[in-house]
Amino acid sequence: MRLTTKGRFAVTAMVDVAMHATQSPVPLTEISTRQGISLSYLEQLFSKLRRGALVKSARGPGGGYRLAKAMDAVTVADIIVAVDEPIDATQCGGKENCHEEQKCLTHDLWVRLNEQIFEFLRSVTLAQLVEQQRAKETRVVELHDPRLSKRPQSESVAA
């Protein structure tokens, strides 16, 4: 479980897909311009996201990406794991080099903390992020038209 800008880009891009691919797939060029991420980098990220079965692709005109699962079935942890290949902060890396009593402090300690962070990220779904984002956008609209301030807006997209 690493946490860098790479994973953040992936999460951002997934939120973009979740928000815009309701009718038709979203091409990467759209995400690129909307989110300010280079097209080629998005290609790399979505290559991994597709291999991780998080998105489905459609080629040709009108093609693009759409979610492979429902929004509430995709967690932040899923996305980060898909693009950020795992890292082992332990010297022994799962192997059994660490037999000496204290040598395992590194290993066990971090594995536990890692699991806790992972559990947390697994508790945050794409649907929640989208809802938060929609709420934020609604709030901006309210400034111009206060009548539109009653939209919970948590529809679920087909699997």
The phi and psi torsions of 19 (rounded to 5 degrees) equal -85, -25
Task: Give Cα 147 distance to the centre of its chain.
Answer: 33
| Sign, Cα dihedral of 82, 41, 30, 140 | positive
Q: Which two tokens stand for residue 149?
A: 């301030």
What does 95 bind: DNA, a copy of itself, none (CB cut-off 5 to 8 Å by kind)? Answer: none
Q: What is the DSSP letter of 103?
A: T
Residue 21 to residue 115: CA distance in whole angstroms: 32
Select from a copy of itself, DNA, none the partner in contact with residue 120, using the beta carbon and a kind-dependent cut-off of 5 to 8 Å.
a copy of itself
Q: Give, as ranges, the residues between 64 and 93 that touch DNA (CB under 7 A).
A: 64-65, 84, 87
**How many angstroms separate the CA atoms of 96 and 98, rounded?**
5
Provide the Cα torsion 91, 96, 98, 99; round to 10°: 180
Residues in the chain: 159
Letters for 36-75 (x = contact with a copy of itself by CB under 8 A, - = none) are x---------------------------------------
Instruction: Tell me which of 51, 63, 137, 151 binds a copy of itself, using CB under 8 A.
Output: 137
User: In a 3-state reduction of DSSP, which class is residue 131?
Assistant: helix
Question: Segment 3-42, which members bind DNA (CB under 7 A)?
Answer: 4-6, 9, 25-29, 37-41
| Contact positions vs DNA (CB under 7 A) | 2, 4-6, 9, 25-29, 37-41, 43-44, 46-47, 50, 57-65, 84, 87
| Contact positions vs a copy of itself (CB under 8 A) | 1-5, 8-9, 11-12, 15-16, 34-36, 76, 87, 89, 91, 101-103, 105-106, 108-110, 112-113, 116-117, 120-121, 124, 129, 132-133, 136-137, 140, 157-159
